[in-house]
Amino acid sequence: MGNFTSCCDSCFRSRRSQSYEPLLLENEREAVADLLQYLENRTTTNFFIGSPLSALTTLSFSDNVDLQRSAALAFAEITEKEVRPVGRDTLDPILFLLSSHDTEVQRAASAALGNLAVNTDNKLLIVKLGGLEPLIRQMLSPNVEVQCNAVGCVTNLATHDDNKTKIAKSGALVPLTRLARSKDMRVQRNATGALLNMTHSDENRQQLVNAGAIPVLVSLLNSPDTDVQYYCTTALSNIAVDGANRKKLAQSEPKLVTSLVLLMDSSSLKVQCQAALALRNLASDEKYQLEIVKADGLLSLLRLLQSTYLPLILSSAACVRNVSIHPQNESPIIESGFLQPLINLLSFKDNEEVQCHAISTLRNLAASSEKNKTAIVKAGAVQSIKELVLEVPMNVQSEMTACVAVLALSDDLKGQLLEMGICEVLIPLTNSPSSEVQGNSAAALGNLSSKVDGRSTADDYSAFNEVWDKPDGGMHQYLYRFLSSSDATFQHIAVWTIVQLLESGDPQLISNIRGSQLLIPNIRNLASSHTSSPTSSVGTPRSHRSQAHSYQETETGEGQGEIQLLGRRILDFVDGDGDPITSASGLSSSHMQTLAGSVDESVTGRDHEELRRSVRDAFTSGSHHSRA
Q: What is the pLDDT of residues 239-274, one digit of tens each?
A: 999 999 999 999 999 999 999 999 999 999 999 999
More confident residue, 164 or 592: 164
Alpha carbons within 13 angstroms on the beta-carbon side of residue 110 total: 34
> In the predicted model, is pLDDT for residue 622 greater than 90?
no
Helix H or strand E segment including 262: helix 256-263
pLDDT, tens digit (0-9, with 9 covering 90-100), for 165-180: 999 999 999 999 999 9
- Among the ranges 35-49, 205-219, 458-472, which has the highest mean pLDDT value? 205-219
Average pLDDT rounded to a whole number, residues 456-464:
70
Q: Based on C-alpha coordinates, what's the Rg of the chain?
A: 34
Position 558 confidence tier, pLDDT thresholds 50, 70, 90: low
pLDDT at 139: 96
Q: Which of these ranges, 385-399, 423-437, 538-552, 587-601, has the smallest mean pLDDT?
A: 538-552
> In the predicted model, is pLDDT for residue 620 greater than 90?
no
More confident residue, 25 or 197: 197
**Mutual orientation of helices 243-252 and 226-239 as an angle, nearest 10°?**
120
pLDDT at 599: 55
**3-state DSSP assignment of residue 453:** coil
Average pLDDT rounded to a whole number, residues 351-376:
96
3-state helix, strand, coil in the chain (%, to 5): 70, 0, 30
> In the predicted model, is pLDDT for residue 589 greater than 50?
no
What average pLDDT is seen over the chain?
A: 86
pLDDT at 221: 97
Position 454 confidence tier, pLDDT thresholds 50, 70, 90: low
Integer Cα distance of 479 and 427 in angstroms: 10
> In the predicted model, is pLDDT for residue 121 greater than 60?
yes
Average pLDDT rounded to a whole number, residues 137-149:
95
Q: Which of these ranges, 100-104, 451-455, 618-622, has the smallest mean pLDDT?
A: 618-622
More confident residue, 270 or 592: 270
pLDDT at 597: 47
> In the predicted model, is pLDDT for residue 496 greater than 50?
yes
pLDDT at 24: 76
Contact 562, 619 (CB under 8 A): no
> In the predicted model, is pLDDT for residue 188 greater than 80?
yes
Integer Cα distance of 409 and 555 in angstroms: 22
Average pLDDT rounded to a whole number, residues 364-385:
96
**3-state DSSP assignment of residue 329:** helix
Contact 293, 332 (CB under 8 A): yes
Average pLDDT rounded to a whole number, residues 518-524:
95
Torsion of CA 304, 306, 311, 312, to 10 degrees: 0
Which residues fall within 8 angstroms of residue 342, CB to CB, at 6 or more apart? 305, 320, 358, 361, 362, 381
Torsions phi, psi for 304 (to 5 deg):
-65, -35
Position 92 confidence tier, pLDDT thresholds 50, 70, 90: very high
Position 439 confidence tier, pLDDT thresholds 50, 70, 90: very high
Integer Cα distance of 348 and 362 in angstroms: 15
Average pLDDT rounded to a whole number, residues 232-236:
97
pLDDT at 566: 94
Position 25 confidence tier, pLDDT thresholds 50, 70, 90: confident
pLDDT at 418: 95
pLDDT at 541: 32
Q: Which of these ranges, 172-176, 575-579, 586-590, has the smallest mean pLDDT?
A: 586-590
> In the predicted model, is pLDDT for residue 195 greater than 90?
yes
Q: Identify the CA nearest to 193 among candidates 210, 204, 183, 179.
A: 179
Q: How many other CB atoms are found less than 10 A from the CB of residue 248?
A: 15
Which residues fall within 8 angstroms of residue 355, CB to CB, at 6 or more apart? 345, 346, 347, 348, 349, 392, 393, 396, 399
Torsion of CA 194, 197, 200, 203, to 10 degrees: -30
> In the predicted model, is pLDDT for residue 95 greater than 60?
yes
> In the predicted model, is pLDDT for residue 10 greater than 90?
no
